[in-house]
Amino acid sequence: MQSAGELQVFRQRESLGAQQDLELGLKLLEGTRKYAVDPTHPEATPPTLRIYRPQPTVAFGQRDRTLPGFDSAQQAARELGFHPVVRRAGGRAAAYTPGSLIIDHIEPDPDPIRESQARFSAFAELLTGALSTAGITARAGPLPGEYCYGEHSVHGVDLQQPDRRVKIIGTAQRQIATGWLFSSSVIVSDGPLIRRVLTEVYSALALEWDPLSAGAADDVAPHVTLCAVENAVLEAYAQYWDLTSGTIEI
């Protein structure tokens, strides 16, 4: 990844609600249309990194809601205290809690499609390095039978039990004519709860997967903290961008 200029960082201190958090990312992406015309426009979105800790959420993919068991899967999520939402980008259902970090990177770009596939590899490498800085043995690449399968997922390895590996990071991407949004969910804690809700949801959807692929960073690195991972992510970003503190109109 090459040096890429200035990036404003917005550390969102409180969740707005599961659906509202999702919609804010899309609103920021839409703001790249204003930026393309007038970067000083109050609704314009400059290069932005937004980091927040979400409410318990099951984010379904577009294909999930076409399945006969979708309503039952939503209800299963609700019964375990998770808010069901449907995202516009990404594959199958994924889950996260306040023990996770959601990282939304938004960039104005006149040709957002050109490097879309390379972006997946580049961010997988950057985030794998960040996890390593935080003390987690991490590898880029999918696990067999993982939930919400992705070629550029990031998983953690338990050095005491090398066969024990869990998916820690899933990524998704959306583009419009004037920019792109790259979103990463980093599961730091609450591994047992993540496994439980995904087991119920995938059962309702009648999708095959390996429940052992679900977990959190602290399943393989017990002493890791959410703050340590967030700081490591910012440290990794600072190698390539000039980070500045920013605010967002909510």
Q: Indicate the DSSP class of residue 194.
A: H
Residue 229 makes CB contacts below 8 A (sequence gap 6+) with: 101, 130, 131, 134, 136, 186, 188, 217
Domain segments of the chain: what residues? Answer: 37-245
Q: Measure Cα distances from 162 to 133, 149, 194 in Å.
A: 19, 21, 21
Specify the length of the chain in residues: 250
Q: What is the pLDDT of residues 49-100, one digit of tens each?
A: 999 999 999 999 999 999 999 999 999 999 999 999 999 876 899 999 999 9
Buried b (16+ CB within 10 A) or exposed e, 110-145: eebeeeeeebbebbbebbbbbbebbebbbbbebbee
Fold topology of 37-245: BirA Bifunctional Protein; domain 2 (3.30.930)
pLDDT in tens, 101-146: 999 999 999 999 999 999 999 999 999 999 999 999 999 999 999 9
